Structure 1
Amino acid sequence: MKTIELTYHIKDIDAIAASVLEHLESKTILFNGGMGAGKTTFINALLKAMHSTDVATSPTFSIVNEYTIPNDKVYHFDFYRIESVDEAYNFGIEDYLSSEHWLFMEWPERIEALLPEDTQTITITDLQDNKRSLKLTINTKHLTENTAMTTENF
């Protein structure tokens, strides 16, 4: 596993999201962070970097929102209200997991047993004063010597 950590001001979120997008090696991204940390806000910035005209909203009650990007889709999940893996099966999670589309998952630990191996994790921490800490964890089995990353790449 390789980790990239950075701190940013919320006003710089679009530039940070565009930079993070360049470093993603998987289309399944797990988002960690407490309530109000800025997970959905960062997802919205990622969508913008992906040239989507959609606006991300929290799918807390709908469980999944679908957004369009050029030549693809993004499924944005919020598993906060999911209490069991059976609930995930009830709304057809296996269809989403077997798709070739982007999967952005908030509260992924609620369905941990179902998560594919090919994932990356973004952890966001609210540092107050409109600053956030972001940690991107990269599964190094997808990296080659030429794509090794450091904080300087940001």
Structure 2
Amino acid sequence: MEYLSHSEAETEALGARLAGVLTAGAVVAYQGGLGMGKTAFTRGLARGLGCTDRVTSPTFTIVNEYLGGRLPLFHFDMYRLPDSDALFDIGWEDYLDRGGVCAVEWSEQVADALPKDTVTVSLARHPDEETWRIITIKGVELP
């Protein structure tokens, strides 16, 4: 399904909607360039899961963990990883087994490590409006 977001707040709200249909073990794979709203979407995802911590990009830490919500959220940034072998080296399978939601930025770097039932969220700039985003969600239906 394709959505049009006019603001960061709308992008976050869409993330919160997605959180409402996710179950333990879900993987959300983001696709989109720098500044497209992946972290904003994840802030909404965290809010929708009931996590109250401040959500930041895990660019330098590789993974940020947000606990205390309906499900834990594990927010990955694969930008600095060379391939999926490096992902397995940091314990990818353990994260999958912990019963949370794994949100993966730059998922194309590790596409071969993602489960078949991964939810894909693509974020792209609208061709006519710099601040608008076209967000496409595949693999799950939103209410």
Q: What TM bracket, shorter-length normalisation?
A: 0.7 to 0.9
Deviations 1:67-94 (A, max 9, x none): 0242431100000110022222221112
TM-score of the superposed pair, with normalisation by structure 1: 0.79
Q: What amino acid is aligned across from residue 8 of structure 1 in structure 2?
A: S
| In structure 1, distance between residues paired with 2:36 and 2:59 | 15
Structure 1 unaligned segments of length 5 or more: list them: 140-148
Q: Does 1:9 align with 2:14?
A: no
The structure with the greater share of residues assigned to strand is 1
| In structure 1, distance between residues paired with 2:102 and 2:37 | 17
**Cα contact 2:4–2:133 (8 A) shared by 1:** yes
Shift of 1:104: 0.4
| In structure 2, distance between residues paired with 1:15 and 1:111 | 27
What count of residue pairs does the alignment treat as equivalent? Answer: 139
SS in 2 for 1:7: strand
**Cα contact 1:122–1:134 (8 A) shared by 2:** yes
Residue 21 of structure 1 is matched in structure 2 by 19
Farther-moved stretch of structure 1 (121-130 vs 106-115):
121-130
Residue 107 of structure 2 is matched in structure 1 by 108
Residue 96 of structure 1 is matched in structure 2 by 95
Q: Percent of aligned pairs with the same residue?
A: 32
Q: Does 1:70 align with 2:69?
A: yes
**Cα contact 2:51–2:69 (8 A) shared by 1:** yes
**Structure 1 residues 40 and 97: CA distance shift in structure 2, 3 A:** same
**Structure 1 residues 131 and 111: CA distance shift in structure 2, 3 A:** same
Q: What amino acid is aligned across from residue 6 of structure 1 in structure 2?
A: Y
| In structure 1, distance between residues paired with 2:133 and 2:82 | 29
| In structure 2, distance between residues paired with 1:123 and 1:53 | 25
SS in 1 for 2:72: strand
| In structure 2, distance between residues paired with 1:88 and 1:76 | 13
Structure 2 unaligned segments of length 5 or more: list them: none
**Cα contact 1:52–1:67 (8 A) shared by 2:** yes
Shift of 1:50: 2.0
Shift of 1:8: 1.6
TM-score of the superposed pair, with normalisation by structure 2: 0.84
| In structure 1, distance between residues paired with 2:132 and 2:73 | 26
